[in-house]
Amino acid sequence: MKQPDIKALKKKAVQLRKDILTMLENAGSGHTGGSLSLVEILTALYYYKVKHNPRDPEWKERDKVILSKGHGCPALYAVLADSGYFPHEELASLRKLGSRLQGHPQRGLPGVEVSSGSLGQGLSIANGIAFANRMDKIKSKIYCILGDGETNEGQVWEAAMTAAHYKLNAVCAIVDYNKMQIDGFCCDVKNMEPFSEKWRSFGWHTKEVDGHDIKALIEALDEAEKVKGKPQAIVAHTVKGKGISFIENQVKWHGIAPKKEELEKALLELDETLKKI
Ligand SMILES: Cc1ncc(C[n+]2csc(CCOP(=O)(O)OP(=O)(O)O)c2C)c(N)n1
Ligand SMILES: [Mg+2]
């Protein structure tokens, strides 16, 4: 197994946060908090774990990442552009009329595996792909990223039962467990605790990690890949709005974009973070 350069990946995460905030400010709308909480999860996936080829996005043997919490797509777009799926300049077209980079991901943009945004559906789609791959004897891993609020959706738990029943060990769910959703804290809206125990009792191999610790995420992903006969859930403890002091843990930052002065302030903070890596 290749050795990850954790320092380089941490720097990458800072650059991705800059791209995310810049494109959101330019769009004038979008989901800031839930994009920033995703960054290390996507970094560990795309720059370490996922078997993919940006020059051949439809390569049959590729692993697939499904962003079930589709509103976090600015983070996905930043990673896909940086990986070479489309030109970096295209990030400036986020949420513009006729753009391939809509407010929720759409098939048609290279690297987007599934159109998403209507919460609760991604895991069922992951199961379907895993089933099809099993029939076609294609060895590929299907990663499905869910929001914690998203798991209020009953369909998630139907899919969780299905994946365990059919022993879909190609499926790995990663929950961006930032403890918040659109209207407030998850524990107030609909408490999902004990959360990891739920996944475990549904028959999943379950691991909790610090979702901003790239090394811990990588270890959890490596562990998940070795599991036989069970789907795997990685419950990644994250902070909504991670990385920017005045955005972290603020409900109001769920669905708004930074204004020009806020962007400038945020970019300065990220420069400081970069110096400390
Ligand atoms: C089926 C459905 N219902 C409602 C919404 C509106 N919505 C968008 S984001 C969101 C909150 C999701 O919370 P969470 O999954 O925790 O996302 P995060 O905290 O990562 O932003 C809601 C209710 C939606 N996109 N789809
Ligand atoms: Mg959340």
- Which H, E and C letters describe 230-271, residue by residue? CCEEEEEECCCCCCCCCCCCCHHHCCCCCCHHHHHHHHHHHH
Interatomic CA distance for residues 75 and 19, integer angstroms: 8
Do 191 and 197 contact (CB within 8 A), yes or no? no
Residue 1 lies in a domain: no
Residue nearest to atom 16 of ligand 1 (CA): 149
Interval 63-96: pLDDT, tens: 999 999 999 999 999 999 999 999 999 999 999 9
Residue nearest to atom 10 of ligand 1 (CA): 182
Residue 44 lies in a domain: yes
Strands (E), 93-248: 142-147, 171-177, 180-181, 184-185, 205-210, 232-237
Ligand nearest to the CA of 179: 2
Structural domain total, the chain: 1
Taking only Cα atoms into account, the Rg of the chain, rounded to an integer number of angstroms, comes to 17
Instruction: Confirm or reject: Cβ of 242 under 6 Å from ligand 1.
Output: no
Residue 240 lies in a domain: yes
Residue 95 lies in a domain: yes
Report the candidate in 74, 65, 66 with the shortest Cα–Cα distance to residue 18.
74
Residue 63 lies in a domain: yes
Q: Which atom of ligand 1 is nearest to the CA of 151?
A: 15
Question: What is the domain extent for residue 268?
Answer: 6-276
Q: Which atom of ligand 1 is nearest to the CA of 71?
A: 9
Question: At 2, is the pLDDT very low, low, confident or very high (cuts 50, 70, 90)?
Answer: low
**Residues whose CB is under 5 A from ligand 2 (ion)?**
147-149, 178, 180-181
Do 202 and 160 contact (CB within 8 A), yes or no? yes
Q: What are phi and psi of 210, to 5 degrees?
A: -75, 115
Residue 196 lies in a domain: yes
- Give the domain CATH number at 154: 3.40.50.970
Q: SS3 sequence, 28-43?
A: CCCCCHHHHCCHHHHH
Work out the mean pLDDT of the chain and round it to a whole number: 97
Q: Is the confidence at residue 1, as pLDDT, over 90?
A: no
Instruction: Confirm or reject: Cβ of 34 under 6 Å from ligand 1.
Output: yes
Token pair recorded at residue 235: 């419950």
Residue 72 lies in a domain: yes
Instruction: Confirm or reject: Cβ of 70 under 6 Å from ligand 1.
Output: no
Which residues, including other chains, have CB under 8 Å from residue 177's CB and lie 6 or more apart? 148, 195, 211, 235, 236, 237, 238
* 1 Cα to the center of ligand 2, angstroms: 32
Instruction: Confirm or reject: Cβ of 182 under 6 Å from ligand 1.
Output: yes
Q: Is the bond leading into 194 cis (omega within 30 degrees of zero)?
A: yes
Interval 205-244: pLDDT, tens: 999 999 999 999 999 999 999 999 999 999 999 999 999 9
Instruction: Give the predicted TM-score (pTM) of the model.
Output: 0.98
Interval 18-58: pLDDT, tens: 999 999 999 999 999 999 999 999 999 999 999 999 999 99
Do 70 and 43 contact (CB within 8 A), yes or no? no
